[in-house]
Amino acid sequence: MKMEIKPMRFKLIKIGCILVLINAVSFNVSFWTSSLSPHPGNGPFQYVVLQESATTVLYPLIMWVTIGIALYPIYGIFHSQAVSSMAIRMGWEHLYRRSIVKIFMSACIIRFLTELLNIAAVHWWNPFTVEPFQIESLWTMSELINHANIGIVLAHWILASVGTGIYVVFVFLMADYIRNAYVYIFVPIIQKFLSIFIYIAAFTSMVTMIPNIGERTPMKAILSSIMPSSILSPGTHYGYVLQSFLSAAALYGVLSYILYHFTLKRRSFNG
């Protein structure tokens, strides 16, 4: 069995490296094809705005699609007979816990390395300037785009890496409830557009009923928590940076916890 696990491990490592390169290349293509003109010192602005912006859809689209593609091999394993044999040896709870930890760490590392290449590329063509930055400002900052500097870039880099790990675990735990592999690949894209629709509909309705609610930061942060972008591309839109990120991280963490326990009960019952 160890001989079977090692090839799969190397296969997943190769997939991870390919995903890093694909996302980094798509970011660079977006950088050169966007309508943003590079000016000395606006490198941080360009880096942040390309994460999730109307100026270009290539990098965000590729990033969202590759989440599903990356989980496809794991989806295949957990929908095969091999997973039952693994569960007999180690138990469903241990199997899922180990898988969740590995998937979380892998997703964080892949996003971390991807953004490292992206930051290096932007800095190479448009060097960042070092400016004063206080981490407390992330709590009151409405959008990173409007305040982009080297500190903001580093904050986005760290938050996005952790947020990606949280969201990918959530998508992984949805695998048991989606029988079609091709539909599963596009779950992140489907959820992205569905969450945008829900956010706009909910916020529009609330503003209609309570005109000044748009000025209430906590409400915007709570509503934006349904947006996966709040943890995948924190601070690019929809509310304040840390408030939106923490709200979304808590929401997807709770949903993942619920899915985890439902899945364990379902697997234990069905065998």
Query: Whole-model pTM?
Result: 0.81
Please check whether residue 97 is in contact with residue 173, taking contact to mean a CB–CB distance below 8 angstroms. Answer: no
Rounded CA separation 58/50 (Å):
9
Residue-wise DSSP of 207-259: HHHSGGGGG-HHHHHHHHTT-THHHHSTTSSSS-HHHHHHHHHHHHHHHHHHH
Which of 38, 241, 35 lies closest to 145 in space, CA to CA? Answer: 241
Q: What is the pLDDT of residues 31-83, one digit of tens each?
A: 776 655 555 556 666 676 666 655 566 677 777 778 887 888 788 888 888 78
Q: What's residue 170's pLDDT?
A: 94
Rounded CA separation 30/28 (Å):
5
3-class secondary-structure state, position 53:
strand
Residue ranges in the chain modelled with pLDDT below 70:
1-12, 33-46, 48-58, 126-151, 203, 206-207, 209-221, 235-241, 270-271
**How many domains are contained in the chain?**
1
> Domain limits at 58?
2-270
